[in-house]
Chains A and B, each alone.
Chain A
Amino acid sequence: MPDPMRIRANAQQDGVDVRVLMSHEMETGQRKDGNGNIVPAHFISNVTVTHGGKTVLSAEWGPAVSKNPYMQFKFQGGKKGDEVTVTWVDNMGETRTDKATIA
C-alpha cells in the first residue's frame, strides 16, 4: 500500500485552496540501474479531486512530473467542514485515495 497523501484544503474568500503532496517514486523509465538495465517507468498517470460528488480537478500526468508530486489549485463552492477526496492511479495499477476536511 502506498504512503498516504498530505492534503491541505483551506477555505479562503475567493474559494477553497487545495494543496496535495503525494508519495510516489515517479520513475521515468529512462534511468538505468547499476547493472545497466533500464528501470521500468512507474508513475502516477491519473489524479482526480472531488468535492460533494463533483469532480473539481482531474489530471493526466506523464513521468516528467517530479518525484513525490505536488499540486495546488483553487475551486469555488466549498465551505469549512466539507470533505475533499483525492485519488490517484499509477501506470502499474496501484491506487490510493485520501480525504481531507476543508479548514
Chain B
Amino acid sequence: MKTGRREFIRLGGVFGALAAIGVLTEKEAWAQQQAWNKAAFETKNLNDTIKALGGSAVSKSDDITMTVPDIAENGAVVPVGVASRVPGTTQIYILVDKNPNMLAAGFTIPQGTEPNISTRIKMAQTSNVLAVVKANNQFFVATKEVKVTLGGCGG
C-alpha cells in the first residue's frame, strides 16, 4: 500500500500525540519512583551493590536458606526462595552474578512479616545466585549456583 502525503501527515499527528503522552507519564513515573534505587540496580558486582544499598561490608551466613533449582531449563523463569533466620532481618535482596546488572529484586520486610519470600527471576546464563540479607544494618550473604540450559535475556 502506498502511503500518501495526507496519510503521512495524519500519522505524524498521531505519533506526536503519543509522544506528548509519553512525556507526561515519564514525569509522573519520575515523581512516583524517586524512591527506586537506580544506582543499586545498575551495579555489576557484590561490593558495589552493597555500597549502593548503604552498607560497607558483607559476611557469609549459614542462617540464610535459599530454595533454587540446581538446573533451570528456562533462564527466563527461575524460581527463587529466600528464608532468613538472621535476627532482625529487614531486607532481602536477590542478586545474580552474571546478569547484565546484578541486583534482580529487593524486598522490605516489616515487623510481623516472615523473612521468607519467593519469586521468579531471569538468568542470562549459568551463574551464582546470591541472597543478601540486611539485619540491624549489617549485610549477610548466601550463594548457590544455578545451571541454566537456555538463557533468559536476548530472547
Taking a contact as CB atoms under 8 Å apart, the answer to whether B112 and A75 are in contact is yes
Residues of B in contact with A (beta carbons under 8 Å apart): 25-30, 32-33, 35-37, 41, 76-78, 96, 99-101, 103-110, 112-114, 116-123, 152-155
Inter-chain contacts of B152 with A (CB < 8 A): 66
Taking a contact as CB atoms under 8 Å apart, the answer to whether A30 and B96 are in contact is no
The majority secondary structure among interface residues of chain B is mixed
With A45-B36, A72-B117 known as contacts, the answer to whether A92 contacts B29 (CB < 8 A) is yes
Taking a contact as CB atoms under 8 Å apart, the answer to whether A69 and B119 are in contact is yes
With A31-B154, A46-B36, A60-B105 known as contacts, the answer to whether A66 contacts B29 (CB < 8 A) is no
Residues of A in contact with B (beta carbons under 8 Å apart): 15, 26, 28, 30-31, 45-46, 54-67, 69-77, 89-95
Inter-chain contacts of B37 with A (CB < 8 A): 60
Inter-chain contacts of A90 with B (CB < 8 A): 29
Please list the 6 inter-chain residue pairs (A to B) with the smallest Cβ-Cβ separation, ordered nearest first. A93-B29, A64-B104, A93-B25, A66-B120, A62-B41, A75-B113
Inter-chain contacts of B108 with A (CB < 8 A): 57-60
Closest to B111 in A: A76
How far does the Cβ of A65 sit from chain B's closest Cβ, in whole Å? 5
Inter-chain contacts of B99 with A (CB < 8 A): 64
Inter-chain contacts of B118 with A (CB < 8 A): 70-73
Alpha-carbon distance between A45 and B34 when the two chains are bound, in angstroms: 11
Taking a contact as CB atoms under 8 Å apart, the answer to whether A66 and B114 are in contact is no
Taking a contact as CB atoms under 8 Å apart, the answer to whether A15 and B33 are in contact is no
Closest to A66 in B: B120
Taking a contact as CB atoms under 8 Å apart, the answer to whether B114 and A59 are in contact is no
